[in-house]
Structure 1
Amino acid sequence: MATAAFSASTSSFRASQSAPSSYNYENSHLTQLPNVNIPFEDLRKRMNDFTLRFDAFLEQGRKRVLNEHNDFKAKLSELQDENKQTRTTITTLSSQLTTQQNLLSRELAEKQEIQSSISNLETRQSSQQQQRDRLRQSIQQTQRQIENKLAAQREYAAKQDSQSALNGPELAWWETYLGLRFEGAGDESLVKVVYLFPAKTGGAKSSAAADGTREAVFELKVPDSGSQPYEVVGVKPKLDGDRVDKVVRRLNETREIGVLLKGMRVLFAEEMK
């Protein structure tokens, strides 16, 4: 049945192909082209103008790009030079900074040393001021002591002068009574007492004076104040030291010069018999 249907359709196609065609192709819009008037000369001219303008545009662009490239290279070179100068400046500034830091460190060390010296000087000055104050106090105290001693010496000298005025007649009496004289010994604190004895019969004349008398001498150290002891510092001819000390002790106990003069006269008389 399928074969029969296919055969029928084929037959109808063939019949349609074999039938004469009555369609007019000349009047068909499929076979007719539009009538177009194209101005080729104007188009060519416009293309040439466009080409010239485009070439000029390209040339200007090339020049602009070249100029920009040259400007960029110049600016880049300037930037490189500036960068080099900046690096050199940074290196110089770094070196100067290091130098300044070292200088600052030295100045700080010197400042600390100066401050330490100032502190030491202030301490030394304070110590010297304290020492000066102590010395002033000591000097003032010494001056007061000296003034007190001078006043005591003046008082003692006045008493001695007064006593000398009173003792003058007494000393003259002792000189006459004991056959002696008072002489200076080259020192204000020493008094030389010289006893005179008659010449010894048949004795050596070498020890006698021109008039034939013999001399016996002792030196008495007079104290500066009434509380200090008398001392016999020289005797000629030589006497027994213990006996001389005994006479001096009696003098210091009694403070009477007659005790000494009489006691020494007795000792010399015994020695020069």
Structure 2
Amino acid sequence: MASAFEPSLSASLSRQPPMSATAPSMADTLPDINFGFDELRERMAKFTAKFDAFIETGRKRVLAERNQFRMSVAELAEDQRMRRKDMEIVALKTANHQQTVAKEAQEAREMQQAIAALDAQRDAHAARRDALKAQIADAQRDIDARAAAQRAHAAYLETQARFNVPELDFWISNLCLKIEGAGQTDRLKFVYSHIDEKDWEREAWFELCTSSRDYDVRHCRPKLEREKVERVLERVNESRELAVLLRGMRELFVEAIKA
């Protein structure tokens, strides 16, 4: 740029009147016009390059930060979605847990009710067991008493049998009678024959119960009227003679067959 100004300066100087060689020239008195434009241009170029580099760096940084921000926003959105999903899962698990707790509480109540019912049933069974034990004890005492009475009565019958054997043989032969067991220790079966004129082989029988002091007729064939049997039993129990029973029952059988 200094060279650009030099021709103009020369022209201006040439148009001035000549001066003496010894006198200083005006050009010498002027300040140096070389301001360092080249250096300034170079510095401006460097500044421009640095500024462009700064701008490019800033643009890249802004772009990177924007991309990073977008990625962060996307990650936050994904994290929020995952958290929302986790919350839904937790809510579902909470609901299932509450249902399970309610179900277990219901089952616990039902088990407590069942336990209470079983306790009541156990107490009822215990009370019934105690009552049955008492009944069994009473029945055992009654059985023992009956057994003692039977033994006493059997002893009495055995004592009387020694005296009644000849008489019993007489009635067996004369009444066409035979004595059999009735399948129980306290019963005797008396079987009659020759009671039907049309069929001498026809039989009639009755079972005599000796479990108590008074005689009792439980079963008979053919069937007899209970009132007539009771009248015969009254005479027998009053007299305590077996012959009265044997004669009376044969008469009832003969009467029933003729009827």
Band of TM-score, shorter chain: 0.5 to 0.7
Q: Is structure 2 residue 224 aligned with structure 1 residue 239?
A: yes
Residue in 1 that maps onto 2:44? 58
Residue in 1 that maps onto 2:150? 164
Residue in 2 that maps onto 1:197? 192
Normalising by structure 2, report the TM-score: 0.65
**What is the RMSD of the two structures over their aligned residues, measured on CA atoms?**
4.0
Residue in 1 that maps onto 2:4? none
Q: Larger radius of gyration, structure 1 or 2?
A: 1
Distance 1:259 1:133 in 2: 60
- Specify whether residues 164 and 219 from structure 1 end up closer, same or farther in structure 2 by C-alpha distance, changes over 3 A only: closer
Are the equivalent residues in 2 in contact too, given 1:192–1:219 (CA < 8 A)? Answer: yes
Are the equivalent residues in 1 in contact too, given 2:181–2:187 (CA < 8 A)? Answer: yes
> What is the Cα deviation at residue 131 of structure 1?
1.2
> What is the Cα deviation at residue 42 of structure 1?
6.7
Q: 131, 142, 146: which is aligned to 1:145?
A: 131
Q: Is structure 2 residue 118 aligned with structure 1 residue 132?
A: yes
Residue in 1 that maps onto 2:65? 79
Q: 34, 51, 55: which is aligned to 1:69?
A: 55
- The alignment partner of 1:199 has SS state of coil
- The alignment partner of 1:216 has SS state of strand
Are the equivalent residues in 1 in contact too, given 2:193–2:201 (CA < 8 A)? Answer: no
- Specify whether residues 73 and 216 from structure 1 end up closer, same or farther in structure 2 by C-alpha distance, changes over 3 A only: same
Distance 2:225 2:27 in 1: 182
How many residues are treated as equivalent by the alignment?
A: 214
- Specify whether residues 141 and 261 from structure 1 end up closer, same or farther in structure 2 by C-alpha distance, changes over 3 A only: farther
- Specify whether residues 240 and 99 from structure 1 end up closer, same or farther in structure 2 by C-alpha distance, changes over 3 A only: same
- Specify whether residues 261 and 200 from structure 1 end up closer, same or farther in structure 2 by C-alpha distance, changes over 3 A only: closer
**Which residue identity does 1:195 align to in structure 2?**
F
Structure 1 segments unaligned to the other structure (5+ residues) = 1-34, 208-213, 224-229
Runs of 4+ with deviation above 6 angstroms:
258-265
Distance 1:157 1:219 in 2: 20
- The alignment partner of 1:239 has SS state of coil
Residue in 2 that maps onto 1:266? 248
Residue in 2 that maps onto 1:102? 88
Are the equivalent residues in 2 in contact too, given 1:196–1:215 (CA < 8 A)? Answer: yes
- Specify whether residues 159 and 93 from structure 1 end up closer, same or farther in structure 2 by C-alpha distance, changes over 3 A only: same
Distance 2:111 2:186 in 1: 53
> What is the Cα deviation at residue 116 of structure 1?
0.8
Are the equivalent residues in 2 in contact too, given 1:182–1:192 (CA < 8 A)? Answer: no
- Specify whether residues 259 and 112 from structure 1 end up closer, same or farther in structure 2 by C-alpha distance, changes over 3 A only: farther
Normalising by structure 1, report the TM-score: 0.62
Distance 1:37 1:171 in 2: 190
Are the equivalent residues in 1 in contact too, given 2:179–2:190 (CA < 8 A)? Answer: yes
> What is the Cα deviation at residue 54 of structure 1?
1.4
Q: 109, 113, 117: which is aligned to 1:123?
A: 109
Distance 2:38 2:243 in 1: 164
- The alignment partner of 2:32 has SS state of helix
Structure number with greater CO (CA < 8 Å, separation at least 6) is 2
Distance 2:217 2:81 in 1: 91
- Specify whether residues 115 and 243 from structure 1 end up closer, same or farther in structure 2 by C-alpha distance, changes over 3 A only: farther
Are the equivalent residues in 1 in contact too, given 2:180–2:191 (CA < 8 A)? Answer: no
Are the equivalent residues in 2 in contact too, given 1:192–1:217 (CA < 8 A)? Answer: no
Are the equivalent residues in 2 in contact too, given 1:194–1:218 (CA < 8 A)? Answer: yes
Indicate the percent of aligned positions where both proteins have the same amino acid. Answer: 6
Structure 2 segments unaligned to the other structure (5+ residues) = 1-23, 173-177
